Chain A
Amino acid sequence: MKKVLNDTWYMALRRIRPTFRQPMTIVMSMVQPIIWLLLFGNLFKGIVEVPGFSTDSYVEYILPGMIVMNTLFIGIYTGMGTLNDINSGVMERFLIVPINKIIIILSELVQLIILLLAQFIIIILLAIIMGAKFSLNFYSIIIFLTIPILLGLAVSALSISLALITRKHEAMITALQFFTLPLMFLSSAFMPRELMPAWIRTISIINPIDWAILGAREVLSSQIYWMDVITNGTLVLLFGVICILISLRSFKTFQRSI
């Protein structure tokens, strides 16, 4: 176990070091979520007037959705690193080194988590500036950040999986983009389930993105129904585990074909 964690860290440093040598990319990736929050927060501001809306601040409402959306948009690109490794031949070297394959997956997630946490802080601060109010304590903030991150891990694992199977940038990104934005709108990110058309509501129930949003949003509410947090959190966790298993399986497919 200790070796797994250590190896994961060494492998993760391989990604983190070069990223921090180019601070510009970090700055750029911080700007994007700010733009999303400003855009969506202002565009749909009027929605709170609709009867049945439980809060008067729309920014407060879409904060969890924005955090999750940001997670998705970053997570789907994890496979790019995998593809670069395949093309540069590094992947083959890592497959011959005596380490568990799961380390290759986990190491990609470390940088993702660091990046996401930095972005979450910026998004939350901006939301507060834009007038959102919520009472968070230490535990609720941990849970609030953990649930979207779990979803991010799931999406990243899928992205790695697609990279290993398709081995092409276009195929991988097209496949993932095809799902992300529609699934965002098929969730309660912008509109509560009660106000959705029936068919969208039905889809949102089986939409992992919505599990993450509902779980995170519940933590922000003034009266937390812990049952909702636990149910949605567990669903996201299960989804993440399944995605990582799929990703492990993809290594087998990849290795059979080289």
Chain B
Amino acid sequence: MSNKIIKVSQLSKTYKGGVEAVKNISFNVKEGEFFAFLGPNGAGKSTTIKMLTTLTRPTSGEVEIAGYDLLRQPDKIRLKIGVALQNTAIDPTLTGRELIRLQGRLFGFSKAESNNRANELVELVGLTEDADRACGKYSGGMQRRLDLAITLVHRPKVLFLDEPTVGLDPASRIDLWEEIKKLNREYGTTIFLTTQYLEEADQVADRVGIIKNGEIVALENPQSLKNSLALDKIQMSFSSMEEKEKAKLAVIKIAPNLESVETMIKVYVQKSQKVLPEIIRILAEAYVFPEDISISSPTLDDVFLQVIRNKNN
């Protein structure tokens, strides 16, 4: 028994007119995993999600979700997945409750089951009070939460979320993340999510994939991605420009990846704990003493920028 719930092999999508949105990507997602898919705008994130969720057909490649083949058994897959796309899918003329009930009926729930599920879900996403208002009048955050609720009606094993927190105010964003984390931790729902808020992915994702120009350029857990790709930053400040210049001449011999701003020097190194003593020694030899030294580890943002920029060819 393999516990890979999403298997993607050599998946490609070329739109009419020759735009290659996704080029030969391959990856797997394990059952229960929280997988974050990152990439700049137009990198192919949404196209990938649309293919994996049976919405649009791949040009080539193979995909298996929950043991079913994407092209041959799309309806089986649809029963197992929940999908919230970038634009909320909400019929503004209906009430929140009506929309959840409709989704339940379409998934084959009885009238009573659909009603119960609607009650549970409006409660879960905190919309109980507004459930019987036309959802066209909901705020952006409420619409997102309703969208998530509709997506959860049939208790999907895999949840696909395309930029779920985009356009939300900070408070709603945190609420929604809590909701998603809970689904992953408590119900074991596999999460496949795209986002541009990297610090959020950094905190919760088990694994991160970075896509650029339709190709996957990085695929690892956030920590090892940061270890292998991004550099630590050592920042030193000096009392005067002369001091800084002296320090710069000394440090550049052992750490050439250096940047100086006013009376500050920023040094980028692979392993700060090894390089820092050397820097201090060489500064002491040159008789310059920094006023302040700080070390910072990379954030996922740094990794992201580095991956995206480095491979710009």
Contacts of B102 in A (CB 8 A): 10-11, 13-14
A255-B56 contact given A11-B102, A96-B78, CB 8 Å threshold: yes
Asked whether B53 is an interface residue with its Cβ less than 8 Å from the other chain, the reply is yes
- With beta carbons under 8 angstroms apart, the residue of A92, A99, A255, A256 that contacts B106 is A99
**B175–chain A nearest beta-carbon distance, Å:** 21
Decide: B106 and A89 in contact? CB cutoff 8 A.
no
Asked whether B311 is an interface residue with its Cβ less than 8 Å from the other chain, the reply is no
Decide: A7 and B105 in contact? CB cutoff 8 A.
yes
Contacts of A11 in B (CB 8 A): 102, 106
Asked whether A258 is an interface residue with its Cβ less than 8 Å from the other chain, the reply is yes
- Report the bound CA distance from A96 to B56 in whole Å: 10
Decide: A14 and B55 in contact? CB cutoff 8 A.
no
B 55-66 binary contact with A (CB < 8 Å = 1; else 0): 111000000000
> Taking chain A's interface residues, is the majority helix, strand, or loop, or is none over half, making it mixed?
helix
Asked whether A197 is an interface residue with its Cβ less than 8 Å from the other chain, the reply is no
Decide: B91 and A97 in contact? CB cutoff 8 A.
no
Decide: B98 and A17 in contact? CB cutoff 8 A.
yes
Total A residues in contact with B, Cβ cutoff 8 Å: 25
Decide: B78 and A98 in contact? CB cutoff 8 A.
yes
Decide: B89 and A89 in contact? CB cutoff 8 A.
yes
**A78–chain B nearest beta-carbon distance, Å:** 16
- Report the bound CA distance from A257 to B14 in whole Å: 10
Asked whether B115 is an interface residue with its Cβ less than 8 Å from the other chain, the reply is no
Asked whether B150 is an interface residue with its Cβ less than 8 Å from the other chain, the reply is yes
- With beta carbons under 8 angstroms apart, the residue of A6, A90, A92 that contacts B105 is A6
- Report the bound CA distance from A117 to B53 in whole Å: 39
**B152–chain A nearest beta-carbon distance, Å:** 13
Decide: A89 and B105 in contact? CB cutoff 8 A.
no
Contacts of A6 in B (CB 8 A): 105
Contacts of B107 in A (CB 8 A): 97-98
**B71–chain A nearest beta-carbon distance, Å:** 13
Total B residues in contact with A, Cβ cutoff 8 Å: 31
- With beta carbons under 8 angstroms apart, the residue of B57, B78, B85, B90 that contacts A97 is B78
Asked whether B54 is an interface residue with its Cβ less than 8 Å from the other chain, the reply is yes
| Residues of chain B from 145 to 198 with CB closer than 8 A to chain A in the complex | 150
Asked whether B284 is an interface residue with its Cβ less than 8 Å from the other chain, the reply is no
Decide: B55 and A95 in contact? CB cutoff 8 A.
yes
> Taking chain B's interface residues, is the majority helix, strand, or loop, or is none over half, making it mixed?
loop
Contacts of A85 in B (CB 8 A): 91
A 39-83 binary contact with B (CB < 8 Å = 1; else 0): 000000000000000000000000000000000000000000000
- Report the bound CA distance from A95 to B83 in whole Å: 11
**A86–chain B nearest beta-carbon distance, Å:** 10
Decide: A257 and B108 in contact? CB cutoff 8 A.
no
Inter-chain contact total with CB atoms closer than 8 Å: 75
A96-B54 contact given A10-B102, A18-B94, A257-B15, CB 8 Å threshold: yes
- Report the bound CA distance from A101 to B240 in whole Å: 72
Decide: A93 and B16 in contact? CB cutoff 8 A.
no
Asked whether B119 is an interface residue with its Cβ less than 8 Å from the other chain, the reply is no
- Report the bound CA distance from A85 to B87 in whole Å: 12
Contacts of A257 in B (CB 8 A): 15-16, 56
- Report the bound CA distance from A89 to B92 in whole Å: 11
Contacts of B263 in A (CB 8 A): none
**B203–chain A nearest beta-carbon distance, Å:** 28
Q: Which chain B residue has the least Cβ–Cβ distance from A99?
A: B106
Decide: A97 and B106 in contact? CB cutoff 8 A.
yes
| Residues of chain B from 69 to 94 with CB closer than 8 A to chain A in the complex | 75, 78-79, 81, 83, 85, 87-94
Decide: B89 and A93 in contact? CB cutoff 8 A.
yes
A 176-212 binary contact with B (CB < 8 Å = 1; else 0): 0000000000000000000000000000000000000
Asked whether A135 is an interface residue with its Cβ less than 8 Å from the other chain, the reply is no
| Residues of chain B from 280 to 303 with CB closer than 8 A to chain A in the complex | none
Asked whether A88 is an interface residue with its Cβ less than 8 Å from the other chain, the reply is yes
- Report the bound CA distance from A7 to B104 in whole Å: 11
Decide: A89 and B87 in contact? CB cutoff 8 A.
yes
Q: B50, B55, B106 — which one has the most chain A CB atoms within 10 A of its CB?
A: B106
Contacts of B108 in A (CB 8 A): 3
A89-B55 contact given A10-B105, A11-B102, A98-B78, CB 8 Å threshold: no
User: 10 new A-B pairs (CB below 8 Å) besides A90-B89, A96-B78?
Assistant: A14-B93, A17-B93, A88-B89, A88-B92, A89-B87, A91-B89, A92-B87, A93-B83, A93-B103, A97-B107
Residues of B within 8 A of A (CB): 15-16, 50, 53-57, 75, 78-79, 81, 83, 85, 87-94, 98, 102-103, 105-108, 134, 150
- Of all A-B residue pairs in the complex, the 4 with the closest CB atoms, nearest first, are A18-B93, A93-B89, A89-B89, A89-B87
